Amino acid sequence: METMIRIEKLAKRYGNVRALNGLDMQVEAGVVYGFLGPNGAGKTTTLRILSGLARSDGGQAWVMGQPVGLQGLGKRPIMGVLPEEPAFYPWMTPREYLRDFVAPLYNLNAKEAAGRTKEMLAEVGLDKVANRRIGGFSRGMRQRLGLAQALIQRPSILLLDEPVSALDPAGRREVLELIESLRGRATILLSTHILADVERVCDTVGIINKGHMVLESDRQALLDRYAMPIFEIEVENSVTDWSSPLSQLPVVDAMQVDGRVARLHVQDVHQAQRELLAALAQNGLLIRRFEITRPSLEDIFLKLTGSLEPEKSVGG
């Protein structure tokens, strides 16, 4: 399979802050790659370097075999870029913005610009509001227009920076469905910190933390690799520190608590079943639910990025 994006030992500083710290990464052709990490992990910096908006301090990146860096790109690959907060001229309409402003940037003639504009507005579901002023658009509508401008040149690669992070559930669903519809037509690098979105639309997952790659894997292989079951326990009792007896058990590796519900990572499933039930009974805790589930991408992410400490970690 062709490699569309390759990064080796990429480094970048902003003053005393190390945004990238020897990042290695590889994105294959045609995939939706979920570039996942906490806020401040280095995702936006990576996308800015790939798109030519920033320069690295060390290491190297290639886009479709062309080096990115001080020498720039040779024959620049066709890329579409959607920043986290795309900016528009509010007095323009979507039709004017794409046809008269964006299309000429890619040397499309008047006929091509008009045809491509009509095509893109239909694809992102804005054809019925093509003549409305952008200033009155919702955030979701602006994100869809941002996708239209990123797609107008029919790019081989799409760089999407947190495209749904500020949207309401309906807007997120619309934009994610649009991204799913693009699978196979372009290689998509989707930067996000929303784990559910990665689990829904991405083929490959790269988890970045503190400027370096923690793990890079096919999504399903990642879930299968960390397939050790999770215990989820819900109790009836309204006790502030009800989880403390469970967190002290040697069989429990890590634990998250939300109100009366706890999710526990354990070392041995059968031993955990015996010890957890005994601890609950000894402490007079009434069980509403005792369930064994597969780990979600969120469980894996928290474990790998250190948000969930490997030693007994209890949080509310």
> How many Å apart are CA 68 and CA 280, to the nearest integer?
57
Q: In what order do the strands lie in the sheet with 187-192?
A: 79-82, 157-161, 187-192, 32-36, 204-209, 212-218
Q: Which of 97-111, 114-128, 201-215 has the lowest mean pLDDT?
A: 201-215
258 forms beta bridges with 261
Mean pLDDT of the chain: 85
- What is the reported pTM? 0.75
Query: CA-CA distances (angstroms) from residue 275 to 112, 154, 251, 308, 309?
Result: 69, 58, 8, 22, 21
Return the pLDDT at 226. 67
- Whether 290 has a pLDDT exceeding 60, the answer reads yes
pLDDT digits (tens, 9 = 90+) for 40-50: 889 999 999 99
pLDDT digits (tens, 9 = 90+) for 260-286: 888 887 878 888 888 898 888 888 888
Angle at 152 between CA 151 and CA 154, to 5 degrees: 65
Calculate what percentage of the chain has a pLDDT beyond 70.
88
Domains of the chain: residue spans and CATH: 3-218 (3.40.50.300), 226-305 (3.30.70.100)
Nearest to 60, CA basis, from 6, 112, 17: 6
- Whether 74 has a pLDDT exceeding 50, the answer reads no
The predicted model gives 217-241 an average pLDDT of: 75
Angle at 180 between CA 195 and CA 300, to 5 degrees: 20
pLDDT digits (tens, 9 = 90+) for 186-213: 999 999 888 788 888 899 999 898 899 9
pLDDT confidence band for 35 (50 / 70 / 90): very high
